[in-house]
Amino acid sequence: MPTASVNAAPSVRTAGDYDPNWARVDLSVVPNVAVPAPGPKSKALHERASRIMKGYSSQVRLFPVVFESGKGVTLTDVDGNTYIDFSSGIYVTSLGHCHPKVSEAVARYAHTLMNCHDFTTPVKTALLEKLASVSMGDLTCMQFYSNGTAAVEAGLRICRAATGRHEFLSGFMDFHGKSYGAVSCARMDPTKGVVRAPGFHMVPRSYPYRPTFFKADGTEDVDALIGFMETYVREACVGPVAAVVLEPIQGWAGSVIPSEDYFPKLRAFCDRHGILLFADEVLTCMGRTGKMFCMEHWDVVPDVMTLGKGFGNGFPVTAVLASERFADSFAKISASTSYGGNPMACAAALASIDVIEQEGLLAHAAELGRFFEKRLAKMKAEHPIIGDVRNKGCLLGVELVKDRVSKEPFDEAGARVYQRAFGKGLAWIPAGHILRMSPPIIMEEDVAARGMDIIDEAIGDVERELGYR
Ligand SMILES: Cc1ncc(COP(=O)(O)O)c(C=O)c1O
């Protein structure tokens, strides 16, 4: 892989040294919810906005606070309350809000060159070469987009162009975005008038806490799961399958981490059938799980991979990467777009990768993950409504159940704990009965501990309210 000459590469990397303590938090003043939240200014603004804006996420519906600013691992609302951020926006600002190096890089290109379609620019060349150098295996052919859904859509079309096959398999409860192709390989509710496109099939996927296929001792039987997929492609598909499309760890489904042997066995299944493995790393990439790419945990190289969210650390930039074997497919699908790979986007992504490397954030996220693992285990031991806890690096999930034997999902408790903790100064993410957390990977352990204390307290409060204590 050639490297950009010093003259061709922009000066994003060397510019603007920043204070290494820029995101340090003084826990004597943070979090601070002096005005019960959502406060009066939040309520008034949200009411005005929601008269016009429709389709809010449950994150907002359950706690309609109005944010004014963010710095590092904290957010401040319009009533002056400050929160610890356990959401990174929505898995996006992994390096913290307004990381000086990323902000400086975007600002520079906002003043230099905003768009020139898909013409080559120095900053794009530098990003392409950087990403190719850190990518997995031979995933060094790529194209950039401005949201995860567009990257997934391009990935699906690349799989079809590369194989000449039409059908896709995806996993129960996966999420890949909201365009027609992306929703077709995700959980959908047919009672809401949504229709899956022809050729898209959902099959069970690994879920160790709630396995579809299990051994006599109750643990997940991955061989049986793969065996079912063998039967499915033989008996149920209409034509040959182009790809299996999966999130390495399911985000929206509740930080569901597969069994260790799932991806290695799935890779072998794909190879037996000439099926491509498409890993949608939009949510899990760029250090979120303690590795640059989540698939590295299982040492499995996919054929196609998508990146998003933490890739630009807040600036909308995403990517689809494919094996060099499928280089021709990009031209076949006419992969370019209006905004993909614009100079500001490339500068943001390049600065983000540099920050991850320079600040040693993969190791830090993994270390923080070990801290979270211990705290989660302690919480599970102390709270009867916790059925399961799990994390990889800074991607966490806590599954609330009415009863540990029946494992009946406890949605009411999930909503209450989310609201309780938010009111105590923790900005985070609900998912029905599963609590989800994705703190910025720059977070220091003392701040992470304070966030976990808030969740612990909130679960205790709700257990008392609901008669579990
Ligand atoms: C795994 C995964 N893929 C794709 C998407 C879609 O990304 P975007 O919302 O940027 O279109 C998401 C969004 O949450 C996601 O989690």
Is the shortest distance between the CB of 425 and ligand 1 below 6 Å? no
State the distance from the centre of ligand 1 to the C-alpha of 398, rounded, in angstroms.
21
Q: Is residue 384 part of a domain?
A: no
State the distance from the centre of ligand 1 to the C-alpha of 366, rounded, in angstroms.
23
Q: Is residue 240 part of a domain?
A: yes
Is the shortest distance between the CB of 281 and ligand 1 below 6 Å? no
Is the shortest distance between the CB of 280 and ligand 1 below 6 Å? yes
| Ordered DSSP codes for 301-358 | --SEEEE-GGGTTTS--EEEEE-GGGHHHHHHTT---SSTT-HHHHHHHHHHHHHHHH
Instruction: Report the nearest atom of ligand 1 relative to the CA of 316.
Output: 10
The pair of three-digit structure tokens given for residue 280, joined into one six-digit string: 């949608």
CA-nearest residue for atom 3, ligand 1, is 176
CA-nearest residue for atom 16, ligand 1, is 283
State the distance from the centre of ligand 1 to the C-alpha of 91, rounded, in angstroms.
10
Nearest alpha carbon to residue 305 among 147, 93, 88, 154: 154
CA-nearest residue for atom 7, ligand 1, is 148
Strand order in the sheet with 241-246: 141-145, 318-322, 304-307, 276-281, 241-246, 167-171, 200-203
Is the confidence at residue 8, as pLDDT, over 50?
A: no
Which residue among 282, 286, 294 is best mutated to probe the pocket of ligand 1, counting the most ligand atoms within 8 A of its Cβ?
282
Q: Is residue 312 part of a domain?
A: yes
Q: What is the pLDDT of residues 446-467, one digit of tens each?
A: 999 999 999 999 999 999 999 9
Within a 10 A sphere around the Cβ of 445, how many other Cβ atoms? 12
Under 8 Å between Cβ of 395 and 438: yes
Q: Is 88 left (phi over 0), alpha (psi -120 to 50) or beta?
A: left
State the distance from the centre of ligand 1 to the C-alpha of 65, rounded, in angstroms.
23
Which residue among 176, 395, 438 is best mutated to probe the pocket of ligand 1, counting the most ligand atoms within 8 A of its Cβ?
176
Within a 10 A sphere around the Cβ of 51, how many other Cβ atoms? 8
Is the confidence at residue 10, as pLDDT, over 80?
A: no
Q: Is residue 32 part of a domain?
A: no
Radius of gyration of the chain (CA): 22
Within a 10 A sphere around the Cβ of 4, how many other Cβ atoms? 17
Cite the beta strand spans of 342-440 per DSSP E.
Answer: 386-392, 395-400, 426-427, 429-431, 434-437
Is the shortest distance between the CB of 251 and ligand 1 below 6 Å? yes
Q: Is residue 300 part of a domain?
A: yes
Is the shortest distance between the CB of 77 and ligand 1 below 6 Å? no
- d(CA 103, CA 101) in angstroms, rounded, equals 6
Average pLDDT estimate for 103-114: 97
* 462 three-state secondary structure: helix
pLDDT band, residue 14 (cuts 50/70/90): very low
pLDDT band, residue 2 (cuts 50/70/90): very low
**CA atoms within 13 A of residue 106's CA, in its CB half-sphere:** 15
Is the confidence at residue 102, as pLDDT, over 80?
A: yes
User: Longest C-alpha distance within the chain, in Å?
Assistant: 67
Q: Is the peptide bond before 258 cis (omega within 30 degrees of 0)?
A: no
Q: Is residue 30 part of a domain?
A: no
Give the per-residue pLDDT at 16.
47
Q: Is residue 236 part of a domain?
A: yes
Under 8 Å between Cβ of 105 and 127: no
With a pLDDT cut of 70, the percent of the chain lying above it is 97
How many domains are there within the chain? 1
Give the per-residue pLDDT at 276.
98
Under 8 Å between Cβ of 176 and 170: yes
Q: What is the pLDDT of residues 265-283, one digit of tens each?
A: 999 999 999 999 999 999 9
CATH number at residue 211: 3.40.640.10
Nearest alpha carbon to residue 119 among 305, 290, 277, 343: 343
State the distance from the centre of ligand 1 to the C-alpha of 177, rounded, in angstroms.
5
State the distance from the centre of ligand 1 to the C-alpha of 102, rounded, in angstroms.
21
Nearest alpha carbon to residue 288 among 12, 426, 87: 87
Q: Is residue 462 part of a domain?
A: no
Residue of 441 and 191 predicted with greater confidence: 441
- d(CA 150, CA 99) in angstroms, rounded, equals 25
Q: Which domain holds residue 150?
A: 102-358
Is the confidence at residue 1, as pLDDT, over 50?
A: no
Q: What is the pLDDT of residues 195-232, one digit of tens each?
A: 899 999 999 999 999 999 999 999 999 999 999 999 99
Strand order in the sheet with 426-427: 67-71, 74-77, 82-85, 426-427
Give the per-residue pLDDT at 357.
95
